[in-house]
Chains A and B, each alone.
Chain A
């Protein structure tokens, strides 16, 4: 069973006045089949955790370990991490001019699966996945994320999640900027992947709204670059009623 273990993770970014520590000792274990919600105020380091796990070059790991089934994730390049089974659904997916969605998806699936999917089956697979996410088939011929609305970008991220079937899925504020209908479509997509029981999900969000559709097994409150409190789904209800104030107080935060 796949397990992602984050131990005492420290991460810095380069700021105008030198390196600034964003993550200050994160400990978290995510197992296949589990869903962990990471909630926290703006600037608490949630997105930094997501990008650090995927290996974004902007973030420097200054201490701690991240392993996937015992393998050192931090030593892997970005593409190696993806092929090892780590998937990051991005908050702000990037436009890639000149590359069509269909070409992108096939190239990516080929890289992740280690062989090119059989064309006939692949076309069916993509078509079905797009239908489930209410994505217009013409999207296949559009350039990746170019001119997509916010909701279309998020659905495109979840489409990739469904097709690439990672071991660990990190969803970075996938709910932000979505209206209720789009949120439901996207959540249904995430739930389909979760129901397979083969993915460990790290759901990073600012709001409790998405947790009505995606039920977490664990909720962690993130503050000042580390996990301040952990609990079950009931912790989300507490946050819904009381907000983050109890965690923001007493520490410098943006």
Chain B
């Protein structure tokens, strides 16, 4: 598909081995910090902001956004799970990692109450924890911590709906040997703005699986970040987005391999349609000198369904040790073009069904990763609805 890259799209990734002129963690304009004052107001030319339309952030980036909005958070947790609302001073906050950009630091500096959801050690949940985040309009800052004790196993669904201008941090602290799967669905109304950092600290021999599903909103910018607290950890990061007319959907991943014998696997796939649809995918993987035995792979694929959509896909892999199992990346952006459409139609398949066939096929392997039938079903319905809108 790579030879079929739509005009205006980029896939200019890099692999750097040792002594890189500009290491991944030095490309940001300020070091990570909890304090918004440590970050200059971005002007748009910074590496981490160059793809984001700042004027559509509604002041989340420059301190003018005031938390006057309503945000309803409903947690439905099975027995054995502790759900708490805590003050800013709670010592369990901020352990997974610091905010890495101005908006994340703004969220950290401005939230009033945080949610802490804890699964005690050795507890294996058979039902998912469901967190509904419903925007009732206006600006909100939020903070959530999801913590699994050693050898606990849990599945968490975070479902974003309604209208909001939301800046948030979500922390995942995964205890040694624990297994956490998080599905975050961005099913916002058309006007919503959502900027969030998802920071996971993966314990020794623990597994963390993240499935990010982004459909709605005017602007969604998510930063899943992984660090390993010990050797043997595993992270699987899956993402699926459907970017429509005028939507900006940005997923910026960072996997920091700082412990030996850890694995990471990243697969993000997006479909785009309509004028001004803009998807950005940044996949940064850093294998530090200490991270011997690392095995990592990242993949981003985009399917452009109509003219007028733009994709920027930038995988970066930086390797500071040669003692690894494997490291690789791939990025491809292709069009669903007239020839494919003709071929399917020449076999009797109507145009709208042909498009559906291609998009469903494109997303199928990722949808199966979710593992929760009602969420999978809703997703497929959503994809159908998006496609209906495009051909109708």
Which residues from chain A sit less than 8 Å from chain B, CB to CB? 54-57, 77-79, 81-83, 87-88, 90, 93-100, 103-104, 107-108, 111-112, 143-144, 160, 164
Contacts and interface: CB of A to CB of B under 8 A. Distances in A.
B340 A96 contact: yes
Main secondary structure of the interface of B (DSSP, over half): helix
Interface size class of chain B, counting residues whose CB lies under 8 Å from the partner chain: 20 to 34
Nearest to A89: B346
B347 A98 contact: no
A78 B342 CA distance: 7
Given A98-B303, A104-B357, A107-B357, A112 B342 contact: no
A87 B362 CA distance: 26
Interface in B356-375: 357-359, 361-362, 364
B345 interface: yes
Main secondary structure of the interface of A (DSSP, over half): mixed
Interface in B76-107: none
Given A104-B357, A107-B357, A82 B347 contact: yes
B347 A108 contact: yes
Interface of B: 1, 303, 334, 338-340, 342-351, 353, 357-359, 361-362, 364
Nearest to A56: B342
Contacts of B340: 94-96
Given A82-B346, A164-B348, A97 B334 contact: yes
Nearest to A94: B343
B351 A79 contact: yes
B349 A111 contact: yes
B20 to A, nearest CB: 33
Contacts of B349: 79, 82, 107-108, 111
B362 A111 contact: no
A224 B323 CA distance: 65
Given A107-B353, A108-B348, A111-B348, A90 B343 contact: yes
B345 A77 contact: yes
B348 A97 contact: no
Contact of B345 (A79, A95, A104): A79
Nearest to B339: A94
B361 A164 contact: no
A79 B342 CA distance: 8
A100 B345 CA distance: 16
Given A56-B342, A90-B343, A107-B357, 5 more contacts: A57-B342, A79-B345, A98-B358, A108-B344, A111-B349
A78 B345 contact: yes
Contacts of B362: 97-98
Nearest to A99: B361
A129 B353 CA distance: 25
B124 to A, nearest CB: 34
A98 B348 contact: no
13 contacts: A55-B346, A56-B342, A78-B345, A78-B346, A82-B347, A90-B346, A93-B343, A94-B340, A97-B361, A99-B358, A103-B357, A107-B353, A112-B347
A54 B350 CA distance: 14
A103 B343 contact: no
Contacts of B338: 57
A55 B349 CA distance: 14
B334 A94 contact: no
Max chain A C-beta neighbours (<10 A), residue from B342, B344, B347, B359: B347
A104 B342 contact: no
B1 A164 contact: no
Given A56-B342, A57-B338, A96 B358 contact: yes
Given A57-B342, A90-B343, A98 B350 contact: no
B334 A82 contact: no
Nearest to B363: A98
B274 to A, nearest CB: 20
Max chain B C-beta neighbours (<10 A), residue from A87, A96, A144: A96
Nearest to A92: B339
A87 B343 CA distance: 11
B361 A82 contact: no
Contacts of A79: 345-346, 348-351
Contacts of B357: 99, 103-104, 107
